[in-house]
Amino acid sequence: MSEQPVHYGLMGEFDSAQTLLEGAETVRGQGYRSIEAFSPFPVEGLAAVLGNQRDWIPLWTLLGGIAGAGISYFIQYFSAVHAYPLNIGGRPLHSWPAFIPISIEFTILGAAVCAALALLIVDRLPKLYHPVFNVPRFEHASRDGFFLCLRSDDPKFDQQATAASLRQAGARQIWEVPR
């Protein structure tokens, strides 16, 4: 903790999803907060252990749906009543039941597009370079490897002590992650 750490953090590899989950719980219990975990498939409960607090994606999906519905209905109303009124068999210009199908489709489109954008923004993707890719065995994270990374920006981070914590948590191999 004395000098500015030059690397991103320390990474340990675990044997299985179960040991990774237990390891994450252990280091979390020791007071680490800047923890990242990597696995080849979603591990139930891992996000909660890492301190995931609030999911914003559902809210953005809802807002996107409302926006899609409102905008598409308004366009139909505006064009049919004001911009281009057509008298078709004396039917009312604002024939709202006929506007429903397109509004439904745009509700779904707005919600889906906003959900996707929210996912990318919250995840900070695309991000083609990331320090963890420097770890030689990290290519196994998309295959059969389970990794835990303790970042150096954690106030509790200390080269020796953190390595010991990782080992105690069950890591079978430990690397420094260069920036």
Binding site for another protein (CB under 8 A): 16-18, 24, 36-43, 46-47, 50, 52, 55, 57-58, 61, 65, 75-76, 79-80, 83-84, 86, 88, 91, 95, 98-99, 101-102, 104-106, 108-109, 111-113, 115-116, 119-120, 122-123, 125-130, 132-133, 138-144
The minimum distance between CB 164 and another protein, in angstroms, equals 23
Closer residue to another protein in complex, CB, 30/159:
30
CB of 91 to another protein, least distance (A): 7
Distance CA 104, CA 110 (A): 10
Q: Which CA distances in Å does 115 have to 56, 110, 121, 126, 169?
A: 9, 8, 10, 15, 36
Element (H, E) at 78: none
Cβ proximity to another protein: between 158 and 176 the closer is 176
Rounded distance, CA 14 to CA 52, Å?
Answer: 21
Q: Tell me how far, at minimum, the Cβ of 30 lies from another protein, in Å.
A: 18
Which residue, 91 or 167, has its beta carbon nearer to another protein? 91
Nearer residue to another protein within complex by CB, 130 or 167: 130
> Which residue's CB is nearer to another protein, number 1 or number 122?
122
CA distances from 2 to 134, 141, 159 (A): 25, 32, 10
For tokens 């995840």, the residue is 123
The answer to whether the CB of 175 falls within 8 A of the CB of 11 is yes
The least distance separating another protein from the CB of residue 171, rounded to whole angstroms, comes to: 16
| Helix boundaries (H) for the chain | 17-29, 46-49, 57-77, 96-123, 159-169
